[in-house]
A = this chain, B = another copy of it.
Amino acid sequence: MEPLNIERLAEKVLGKIFVPVEASGRHVHVTAEQAKSLFGHGLTPDRPLSQPGQYVAKERVTVVGPKGEFRNVAVLGPERKEAQIEISLTDGRNLGIQPPVRLSGDVKNSPGCTLAGPEGRVVLEQGVICARRHIHLTPEEGRRFGVADKQVVKLQTFTARPVVFEDVVVRINPEFSAAVHLDYDEANACGFQKGDWGRIIP
C-alpha cells in the first residue's frame, strides 16, 4: 500500500469531476518518407506526450510560409500517413497562411507550406490547419461526463481569465487520456497556466 499523499488524492478526485487543460504549441506531423528527406532518418523519441504512444521527437524543423517562417518547430511522432502542420491563427498571420479550423487528420484542401530540415526540404501541397479545440476522453470518462464521441460541448475554464469555450469536440478512444487541447491563442485568451482544469458542459 502506498503512503497517503493528500495532494495527489485531491488531484485524483478533481480528475473525476474536471478535465485537465493542456496548451498545444505549433507542431508538425510528417510521414516516414518526409522524415527521411528532412533528417536523413526516422523520428527519434525525446519525451512522451499525455496521449499514450505519442511523443515529441528530438528532430526539429523550420516551417516556411510566404510571409515568414518559424524555426525550431516541434515534430511529433510517431510518423503518420500524411503530413499535418498545426498552427494558431496568430501563427498563420506571421507565416502569411490562413489555416482552416479543423479536427486533426482533416487536411483536405488546406493550404500548404514548406518544411526545412538539416538534410533537405519538403514542399507540401496541403496540410496546414488550426486545430479545432477538442477533449480527449476514454470511453469510461465519456460515460462519467455524459458525453459521446464527436459530441460538441462547452468547456468552462478555471483559469486567470475565465472563459466558456463553445464548439469543443469530444473525441473518445480507449487509447486516450483525459485532456482538453487548446492552442496558444485560446490558452492566452483564458490566461491558462499549467495544471489548470476545465469543466465539461454537455
Please give the residue numbers on chain A whose beta carbons come within 8 Å of chain B beta carbons, in ascending order. 88-90, 101, 132-133, 154, 160-167, 184-186, 188-191
Contacts and interface: CB of A to CB of B under 8 A. Distances in A.
Nearest to A201: B164
Copies of this subunit: 2
Contacts of A190: 189
A91 to B, nearest CB: 9
A184 B101 contact: no
A164 B164 contact: yes
Nearest to A167: B162
A189 B191 contact: no
A109 to B, nearest CB: 17
A101 B190 CA distance: 11
A163 B133 CA distance: 11
Given A90-B188, A185-B189, 10 more contacts: A89-B191, A90-B185, A101-B160, A101-B191, A161-B166, A163-B165, A185-B185, A186-B189, A188-B189, A189-B189
Nearest to A89: B188
A101 B161 contact: yes
B162 A163 contact: no
A6 B142 CA distance: 47
A167 B163 CA distance: 8
B164 A163 contact: yes
